[in-house]
Homo-oligomer: A and B are copies of this chain.
Amino acid sequence: MNSVSPTSASASLPVKIAGLGHYLPERRVTSAELEETLGLRPGSVFRTTGVCERRRASRGETNSRMAAAAARQALASADRKVGEVDLILGASASPEQMIPCTAALVQRELDGPEGRSACFDVNATCLSFAVALQVAGSLIASGAYRTILVFSSEVTGESLNPNEPESAALIGDAAAAAVLTRSDEKEASRIHLARFATYSESSHLTQLLGGGALHHPNSPHTTPDMNQFRMHGPAIFRIASRLLPPFVESFLDTVGWTKSSIDLVIPHQASGHALRHLAPRLGFSSDQVFLNLPQRGNCVAASLPLALSEAWEAGHIQRGSRVLLLGTGAGLTLGAVALTY
């Protein structure tokens, strides 16, 4: 069985992104610097990953502080105060600490009024923000919350394996945030559809084995490399290349969008190789596809909202724009969100 359509029809949700923001750590790490640190040939990092430079969080740039900085910008652009937020929804691949959820730490960092907002996290690795849009959209549409602050914040340094430069040099740190509210009746803004499909036979292709109960940090059997990210890029690319085209066709059929009617495709910035092949393979023109990989790297769960925030800031998205978020994450999960900004 290989159905990609858990639910063939879905009502679009009267929910909009009211504001966006992001935070980039101060420290820039160029590919030349990494080549020297990792003992690689000059030019090899860009050739392998497509990344020229990436940011890396310094001491003090914690997940919650970076998220709070992005959130303040998103709240300002939505013209909302933190006291108006009903739910703070964390959407990162890894937490600041195991307990409590990072969202509670962001409420504290934002000095959010005690008891005014609920706080919890969702996790679908690189697709966490896309899943959070679906969750937040449904929660607003069903009347559970009016104003939701979603954030993704990634601090990856010690999770990168210098012996696997194709991932260690690919990944960057960042935080991004969005404020979601109900659309007015006269607004075109909507979340039309979000869809995710997990292929767990490929769950071993992207792993961080440690950090949980199976290979606990205190266990004498847990080795340092178990606490580092492992990715089989070429295998993921092969599988995603086969699965993504029918997934996207079926998704756009359900939404009722032609490919040419989409103003901007924002892909998860998975890798240079994946992004080069994505547009032609899926039938998008290259000027429809937003890229920030060369300057930002793959910022894990923060990649999609950072690209969205930077695309909006650069004027590539206006109210009424048709936007398609698209990507793959560990699982292996495919995901897409269609929205009118």
Contact = CB atoms under 8 A, between A and B. Distances in A.
A199 interface: yes
A238 to B, nearest CB: 15
A254 to B, nearest CB: 11
A255 interface: no
A73 to B, nearest CB: 20
A210 B6 contact: no
Contacts of A122: 120-123, 135
5 contacts: A3-B115, A11-B142, A121-B122, A134-B144, A216-B227
Interface in A84-131: 86-88, 93-105, 107-108, 112-125, 127-128, 131
Contacts of A112: 200
A211 B143 CA distance: 34
How many copies of this kind of chain does the complex include? Answer: 2
Contacts of A331: 100-101, 104, 119
Given A125-B101, A135-B139, A198-B107, A114 B214 contact: no
Given A1-B83, A218-B227, A120 B115 contact: no
A208 interface: yes
A138 interface: yes
Given A100-B203, A138-B144, A228 B218 contact: yes
A198 B118 CA distance: 5
Contacts of A269: none
Interface residues of A, number: 101
Interface of A: 1-4, 6-7, 9-11, 13, 57, 62-63, 83, 86-88, 93-105, 107-108, 112-125, 127-128, 131, 134-135, 137-139, 141-146, 155-159, 194-201, 203, 206-219, 222, 224, 227-229, 243, 329-335
B142 A194 contact: no
Contacts of A199: 114-115
Nearest to A207: B99
Contact of A6 (B117, B121, B197): B117
Contact of A116 (B3, B222, B334): B3
Given A1-B83, A104-B333, A119-B198, A213 B10 contact: no
Given A88-B198, A104-B331, A138-B142, 4 more contacts: A13-B142, A97-B208, A100-B329, A100-B332
A329 B100 CA distance: 8
A102 B207 CA distance: 11
Nearest to A109: B200
Contacts of A99: 93-94, 125, 206-208, 229, 330
Given A196-B120, A218-B158, A97 B6 contact: no
Contact of A212 (B4, B83, B94, B329): B94
